[in-house]
């Protein structure tokens, strides 16, 4: 472990030490370890309160509800210096909270963090918590966590940035990753607000889906989220030197979902509907929402749509598609 990784690890531990004490002094110390632009990524508890202001509120509420503080144990921690000033940390941790009604034990969580060297001090830029252990999750938290299952009717959303290859050759890697992280973090919030589940990111592509908890408006939620993505990017582009344009595709249908992996578990979707959603995105246009005929049938009358006719996808099939205006 080099000196930068060692410093990051020490800061990581100081942060949790400060949090579990839960008093005014410890909260102030914890906040001092956060970068001015601190944020979360993902859909865990801490991400809902991303930002120093919300983290301060969250820690203050925790101190009120758990005046006895807490204890924690780090079962495993890995530090990885990705640049001269940037370190990624992955840690498996368990907590015991002391409340007026007694102790509450939390199943093992995974804490993922990014820290940077800021004027000689390591500070958090990002923090994410998730559940890495299959035994600690259920379908109420992560769809399909217990065993693979068929979801009869979901809407799958794909986004992909146009001109990304050009951007990678003109923007320094650290700046590029910072931009992507900021954008995807906002996408995460949009998904959360519209009852979509983020599935994964692959490079500059983003995948999410709605409908795991049976509802008739999953397609409406997906299209609404897509419109909010375009609105966010348009507003961002109006004041940013780097312009981001994206294609968005949505298809609705049956999928198989389940948690895979022998250690780093994550939920993924499989089936022809996933392939069709990806193909619908690829057949779209920059800053347009392209949907399949099946999705159109679920949102007809809710959104103004333009019929494009049958479009050939890469496997040779002809698929009816619509642009959402």
Residues forming CATH 3.30.70.1230 domain(s) in the chain = 149-324
Cα-to-chain-centroid distance, residue 118: 25
Which pLDDT score is estimated for 161? 93
Closest to 12 in 3D by CA, of 109, 94, 120, 88: 88
Whole-model pTM above 0.75? no
Q: What is the pLDDT along the chain (325 residues), one digit of tens a residue?
A: 689 999 999 999 999 999 888 788 888 999 999 888 787 655 455 555 567 777 788 788 777 777 777 888 998 898 988 888 899 898 888 888 776 666 777 667 778 888 999 888 899 988 877 654 443 334 443 444 446 778 889 999 999 999 888 888 788 888 888 888 889 989 988 998 898 988 888 888 999 999 987 778 999 999 999 999 999 999 999 998 889 999 999 999 999 887 665 444 567 888 999 999 999 999 999 999 999 999 999 999 999 999 999 999 988 889 999 999 9
pLDDT at position 100, please? 63
Predicted confidence at residue 131, as pLDDT, reads 58
CATH code of the domain occupying 3-136: 3.10.450.50
Neighbours of 276 (CB within 10 A): 22
Coil, helix or strand at residue 235 = helix
Residues of the chain with CATH 3.10.450.50: 3-136
Helix (H) or strand (E) holding 34: strand 34-40
pLDDT at residue 278, rounded to an integer? 94
| CATH tag, 149-324 | 3.30.70.1230
Burial (Cβ within 10 Å: 0-12, 13-18, ≥19) of residue 315? exposed
**pLDDT value, residue 261:** 53
DSSP lists the bridge partners of residue 317 as none
Query: What pLDDT shows up at residue 264?
Result: 46
């Amino acid at each position: 472990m080099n000196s930068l990784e060692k410093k990051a690890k020490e800061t990581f531990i100081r942060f949790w030490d400060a949090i579990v004490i839960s008093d005014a002094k410890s909260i102030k110390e914890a906040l001092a370890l956060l970068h001015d632009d601190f944020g979360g990524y993902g859909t865990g508890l801490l991400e809902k309160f991303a930002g120093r202001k919300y983290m301060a509120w969250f820690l203050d509420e925790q101190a009120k509800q758990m005046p006895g503080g807490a204890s924690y144990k780090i079962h495993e921690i890995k530090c990885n210096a990705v640049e001269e000033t940037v370190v990624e940390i992955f840690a498996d941790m368990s907590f015991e909270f002391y409340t007026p009604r007694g102790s509450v034990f939390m199943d093992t969580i995974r804490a993922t963090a990014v820290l940077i060297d800021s004027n000689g001090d390591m500070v958090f830029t990002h923090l994410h918590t998730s559940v890495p252990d299959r035994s600690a999750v259920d379908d109420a938290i992560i769809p399909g966590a217990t065993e693979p299952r068929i979801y009869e009717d979901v809407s799958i959303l794909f986004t992909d940035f146009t001109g990304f290859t050009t951007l990678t050759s003109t923007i320094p890697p650290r700046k590029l990753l910072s931009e992507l992280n900021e954008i995807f973090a906002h996408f995460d919030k949009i998904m959360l607000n519209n009852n979509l589940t983020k599935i994964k990111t692959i490079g500059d592509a983003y995948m999410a889906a709605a409908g795991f908890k049976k509802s008739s408006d999953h397609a409406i939620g997906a299209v609404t989220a897509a419109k909010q993505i375009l609105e966010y990017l348009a507003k961002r582009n109006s004041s940013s030197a780097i312009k981001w344009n994206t294609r968005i595709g949505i298809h609705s249908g049956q999928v198989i979902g389940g948690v895979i992996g022998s250690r780093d578990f994550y939920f993924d979707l499989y089936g022809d509907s996933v392939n069709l959603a990806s193909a619908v995105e690829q057949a779209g246009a920059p800053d347009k929402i392209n949907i399949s005929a099946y999705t159109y049938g679920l949102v007809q009358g809710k959104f103004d749509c333009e019929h494009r006719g049958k479009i050939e996808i890469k496997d040779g099939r002809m698929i009816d598609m619509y642009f959402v205006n």
